[in-house]
A and B are shown apart, each in its own frame.
Chain A
């Protein structure tokens, strides 16, 4: 997610927490890898929706990463229901990696 300008302050906070989730294969956080497509917080029904992808279909650690996102966010927004949705549209591509992510990849 290169453009975070449309996120609220709270949604940005959620994104910062998701940054603690590391892809165990490349040891880079998944936000900088560009795997997070959107974060939406619905205050009225206490719901957080995270839309994300994976760098390859059939990624062997895919659901562990998703579970990690859910647990990490849930541990701070304890009153909220956290939904992590996987999408393949649009397909992930290297353009989505942030400059920090590219630097971390070496």
Chain B
């Protein structure tokens, strides 16, 4: 949130800078099986965001001190490529990537049946190839698809969508300018079949009504994204 509230990002007709309405999502494509050596993988593009996720395991957890006797552990690594943004990112982990790795792990832990694989580890590598706002949502959603592709048992998929506020208007799926100069951002992780929430963050300020509106946008958008996840996972077997 840059806090530059005077930047005009929505016109009189209610259209945003990229021509979308307030509740519209950017274009999404999902592809599975993109990393042949991985047990499961997914490439997801969301607007100009692009993420590749690879899942390995369940495998023996090393070092041994991370093993849990009653369940598996998720080892999530979120990383942005140095070329993923217009300003070169310094390679390696930083405070932000550690935070996103942790919230992604926490969200996925609520759906993966970890107790079936005691003492083992499931490694999830999320690489952001191109970043334009909302990469944590792309990473989490793609990780969920990659886990399903790897045959890891899950009670539901996780769909992550963000809504926010620009020029005092609540909009769905912020792009880079809206994210930088908008007033608030509300990313959520939703289980589409049950409607349960497994992840929520908020940046900036939203009134109660605005929060409800952003919540509704996210819930509606999660259904649309979930449909695309189903199509990608089922592939052309249904055609």
A interacts with B: no
Residues of A within 8 A of B (CB): none
Residues of B within 8 A of A (CB): none
